[in-house]
Amino acid sequence: MADRPPPTLRLHIDKDALAQNWRALDRLSGPARAGAAVKADCYGLGANTCVPVLRNAGCRDFFVAHWSEVPAVLEHVPAEQLSVLHGVGCAAEAEYARATGVRPVIDSLRQAQIWTEGGGGPCHLMVDTGINRLGISLGEASDPAIQALSVEVLMSHLACADEDSDKNTAQLGAFREVMNKVAHRETSLANSAGVALGSKFSFDLTRPGLALYGGVPRPELADTIRQVAFPQARIIQTRQIEAGESVGYNATFTASSAMRVGVVSLGYADGILRNWGGAHFEEGGKHLPILGKVSMDMIVLDLTDAPEIGEGDWVSLPYHLPDAARQTSLSQYELLTVLGHRFG
Ligand SMILES: *Cc1c(COP(=O)(O)O)cnc(C)c1O
């Protein structure tokens, strides 16, 4: 095979920032230790890159959503440090859990039965305290199927930790209530935003995800959390357009005077959805608006302010997540997880 030519897209991961974010969240968790949500391929940034960094920073508790995500993480951490949040939905999943030693998070009475019928063993238990997503209800905590479990970490998940909502204290109260009903070794409630809600929410183990990867779900974290993901793309063509000419699908931008534009190799498959229309890049302090719609594999930038940028040059996506979320109206979670596979 011939050598591959250099890529036109790249995703730089600032590993120091990732390690620092975990350490900061661990510190903010007070006496509790911070784990790490590494589901969705570390929120799109790559489990192979990120999991070793988190492990080396000191993390010992890793969470994925699906069993299909287990092998990639097991390359880097011992099985007993890894848990699957979606639990065991069938006997085959319970069997796989036991064979690998990875812990399921039991989410329902049915899951509890499947786990026990397959032989049982240490597991975690998710209790729904008001998000109505996954987890047993408070009333189900005294069911014999739950009482039969050997629960390591009793956990729940906050619905509104990124807001100053009464729901946070309501969920806290419900969680405390259920702690008295189910025997367990440890407790865990807070996601990234929950870590910033204060020590009452920390319990034994926190489970940040978003903030590890540079997301800022609450203003208290703004000065602490550093950007981790730096997507970059090459300008594949520059062109001069005249007043009255339009750019891109549906000709939604029309030049009011002659201008120089640059075509960047970024599009839907890379996670640059149409929400990016109207946003702008910043390169070396220069303001470079996106012109017209994102058109399949390309966007067009206004290079008026940056005559020095030419074909083959790299530009950085404005991926400071709180700013990018404001510009695109995508959530910080979406901005990370949509980044596509063409980033090298
Ligand atoms: C994804 C997830 C987390 C991490 O949440 P962030 O908001 O990304 O910090 C924690 N706990 C559970 C159960 C999750 O599903």
| Residue 161, ligand 1, Cβ within 6 A | no
Helix or strand holding residue 186 (H, E): strand 186-188
What the block records as the tokens of 278 is 């109207």
Query: Which distant-in-sequence residues (6+ apart) come within 8 Å of 227 by Cβ?
Result: 14, 17, 214, 319, 320, 321
Decide if pLDDT at 48 tops 80: yes
- Sign of the dihedral through C-alpha 318, 322, 325, 326: negative
List C-alpha distances in Å: 222 to 30, 210, 215, 320. 18, 13, 9, 11
- The residue behind tokens 């609450």 is 218
Q: Tell me which of 200, 249, 293, 333 is the catalytic residue.
A: 249
| Alpha-carbon separation of residue 163 from 14, 88, 196, 223, 340 (angstroms) | 28, 31, 11, 18, 30
Locus of tokens 């510009």 = 327
User: What domains can be seen in the chain, in order of their start residue?
Assistant: 11-216 (3.20.20.10), 229-318 (2.40.37.10)
Contacts of 312 (CB under 8 A, 6+ apart): 234, 235
Q: What share of the chain has pLDDT > 70, as a percent?
A: 100
Which of these, 252, 233, 230, 237, lies nearest to 303 by C-alpha position? 237
- Ligand 1 mutation target, pool 85, 107, 220, 228, most atoms within 8 A of CB: 85
Instruction: Quick: pLDDT tens for 121-149.
Output: 999 999 999 999 999 999 999 999 999 99
pLDDT tier at 1, thresholds 50, 70, 90: confident
Residue 311: pLDDT band with limits 50, 70, 90: very high
Cα separation, 301 vs 290, whole angstroms: 5
What is the separation of C-alpha 148 from the centre of its chain, rounded to a whole number of angstroms?
A: 34
Q: Which of 39, 43, 213, 333 is catalytic?
A: 39
The rounded Å distance from CA 146 to ligand 1 centre is 23
HSE-up of residue 34 (Cα within 13 Å, Cβ side): 31
Does the CB atom of residue 191 touch ligand 1 within 6 A?
A: yes
Q: Which of 157, 225, 331, 336 to mutate to test the pocket of ligand 1 (most atoms within 8 A of CB)?
A: 157
Atom of ligand 1 nearest to the CA of 217: 7
- Average pLDDT for residues 297-314, to the nearest whole number? 96
Q: Is 249 a catalytic residue?
A: yes
User: Which residue's alpha carbon is at the smallest distance from atom 6 of ligand 1?
Assistant: 209
- Judge contact between 187 and 154, C-beta under 8 A: yes
Helices (H), the chain: 15-28, 39-43, 47-57, 70-74, 91-100, 109-117, 144-147, 166-179, 192-195, 321-328, 332-337
pLDDT value at residue 344: 77
Please, which residues have CB within 8 angstroms of residue 50's CB and are 6 or more apart in sequence? 13, 18, 38, 42, 212, 213
Q: What is the pTM of this model?
A: 0.96
Q: Is 209 in the pocket of ligand 1 (CB under 6 A)?
A: yes
DSSP 211: G
* pLDDT of amino acid 310: 97
Yes or no: say if 103 and 92 are a contact pair by the CB < 8 Å rule. no
Q: Helix 47-57 vs helix 15-28: angle between axes, to the nearest 10 degrees?
A: 50
Which ligand 1 atom sits nearest the alpha carbon of residue 212? Answer: 9
Cβ of residue 85 lying under 6 Å from some atom of ligand 1: yes
